[in-house]
Amino acid sequence: MKRPSMLPEGVRFVGEVDGEGDFVVFGTIEGPVNIDGAVVIEESGMVKGHVRGRSVTVRGALKGHAFGEDAVVVDASARVVGDLTAPRVRVVPGARFRGKLLVRSVADPSLGVYDPTMHTFTGVPAPVVTTPFDSRSSADEPQFRTTLSGFRAPSRPPSRPPLTSKSSPPLSSKSAPPLSSKSAPPLARKPALVDEPPTEEVMLDEPTDEQPRFSLKMPTLGRSDARRRGQ
Amino acid sequence: MKARGYIGPGIHLRGTIDGSGELVVDGTLVGPVELAGVFTVGGRGAVTGDVQAKAVEVEGKLEGSVRAEDVAIRSGGALYGDVQALRVGLDDGGALHGTVDMDVELPEALLGGDA
């Protein structure tokens, strides 16, 4: 068994990742990820870019599409803005997700031609799947169904604004019903979510320039020496 | 204690790396590295790009200039580029193609004039 690759927390990579082998992200990646293996974005991990893997598991934040040859799993702690495409997609209750669910093979011809380098489908437009599971026979994937129904009907505070989040009150508004309201236990468990506005928007902690950049304390090397040499 | 990062032999990275912590690259990396920690080019690793880190260990192949407090080139490792460091170690069997710049304090008697 090959040792999985791991980008640690505190390390940021800006560029393209590809190759084979499992890849676990605790740090930050800005750019496309194309791996023949399992890709896991852990809780501290952030990826801004499309991710393709044999399987893609998100526990942290993803802004971009996820394509899984086998499966895509969006875990309870995940925040995802992007479409999920895989033959098996699992969204665990508690996850915050905005995007399309395309539960089919990446090789499905109705999706158009999949371009693995661009992580997009060209040719035939990808259909919007609104209710992909209601018409399915329950014998199909029972476990799936349970998870999905949990995801689709989360209990919400009654005073919560509608899904069109643009009209939602600003962060500072005292009148905004906090997510920690007792009537929303599944979402309120994580303290990190308490301060977020009560919208369906997935809040991504996008890395900014204000992030503390490390500075390497280096003595001035060789300067005096060079001067001496020049004499 | 932070975990040590690892880029496996099958992984190719094209882009910049920055941050803190330890990182071992056994795959290929094309692009600059700025790491407040130990950066290691593993025995199967190939890195092309300038590296700035607290310490740099080369067990594989590194092409680019290196700036660090400590630089160690292990047996089997090859560094193509200039090194600016406080301490440089070159093991038997390691290769360094480039210049080394350490802060050398020469005795007074040897200062001035040409060698």
What residues are paired with A115 via a beta bridge?
A120
The CA-atom distances, in angstroms, between A212 and each of B18, B20, B95 are: 11, 11, 36
> Could you tell me the pLDDT band of residue B1, with boundaries at 50, 70 and 90?
very low
In angstroms, rounded to a whole number, what is the distance separating the alpha carbons of residues B71 and B87? Answer: 6
Residue A153: predicted pLDDT: 42
Least reliable range by pLDDT among A150-159, B85-94, B99-108: A150-159
Please give the DSSP secondary-structure letter assigned to residue A107: T
Interface test with B, best of A47, A213, A214, A224 (most B CBs within 10 A): A214
Confidence band of A144 (pLDDT split at 50, 70, 90): very low
pLDDT at position A109, please?
60
Burial of A27 (0-12, 13-18, 19+ CB in 10 A): buried
User: For residue A163, is it within any domain?
Assistant: no
Q: In the predicted model, what is the mean pLDDT of chain A?
A: 68
In a domain, A104, yes or no: yes
Query: In chain B, pLDDT over 90 holds for what percent of residues?
Result: 86
Tell me the two tokens of residue B101. Answer: 């710049």
From A92, A72, A99, select the one nearest A202 (Cα to Cα): A99
Task: Give the per-residue pLDDT at B104.
Answer: 85
User: Quick check: A13 contacting B, CB < 8 Å?
Assistant: yes
pLDDT for the residue numbered A113? 56
Distance from CA of A100 to the nearest CA of B (A): 29
State the pLDDT at residue B112: 78
Long-range contacts formed by A183-188: CB under 8 A, 24+ apart:
A183/A155, A183/A156, A183/A157, A183/A158, A184/A154, A184/A155, A184/A156, A184/A157, A185/A155, A186/A93, A186/A94, A186/A154, A186/A155, A187/A94, A187/A154
pLDDT of residue A103: 83
The number of domains in chain A is 1
Mean pLDDT of A146-152: 40
Q: Which of A24-33, A97-106, A163-172 has the highest mean pLDDT?
A: A24-33
Asked if B82 has any chain A CB less than 8 Å from its own CB, the reply is no
Q: Which domain holds residue A81?
A: 5-153
Q: How many CB atoms lie within 10 A of CB B24?
A: 22
What kind and span of H or E run contains B12?
Answer: strand B11-20
> Which of A12-16, A156-160, A172-176 has the highest average model confidence (pLDDT)?
A12-16
Q: What is the pLDDT of residue A106?
A: 66
Q: What pLDDT is attached to residue A208?
A: 47
User: Given pLDDT bands bounded at 50, 70 and 90, which one contains residue B27?
Assistant: very high
In terms of DSSP bridges, do strands A28-30 and A11-20 run parallel, antiparallel, or are they unpaired?
parallel
Instruction: Indicate the pLDDT class of residue A114, thresholds 50, 70 and 90.
Output: low
The pair phi, psi for residue B19, each rounded to 5°, is 135, -160
**For position B78, what pLDDT does the model report?**
97
Residue type, A86: A
Residue of chain A whose alpha carbon sits nearest to that of B115:
A229
> Which residue of A lies nearest to B18 if distances are taken between CA atoms?
A12
Q: Kindly list the domain boundaries of chain B, sorted by start residue.
A: 5-110
Residue pointed to by tokens 């026979």: A137
Domain membership of residue A195 (yes or no) is no
Q: How many CB atoms lie within 10 A of CB A79?
A: 24
ipTM passes above 0.90: no
Of A6, A10, A224, the CB nearest to B19: A10
Mean pLDDT of A25-45: 96
Taking 90 as the threshold, does the pLDDT of residue A139 lie above it?
A: no
Q: Which of B20, B103, B106 sits opposite A214 (nearest CB)?
A: B20
* Per-residue model confidence as pLDDT tens digits over B89-106: 999 999 999 999 998 888
* Mutate: best of A7, A9, A46, partner B, most B CBs <10 A: A7
pLDDT of residue A116: 55
Statement: residue A76 has pLDDT above 90? yes
- Residues from chain B that touch A215, judged by Cβ atoms under 8 A, are 36
**Which position has the higher pLDDT, A157 or A13?**
A13
pLDDT digit string, tens, across residues B44-70: 999 999 999 999 999 999 999 999 999
**A217 CA: distance to closest CA in chain B (Å):** 9
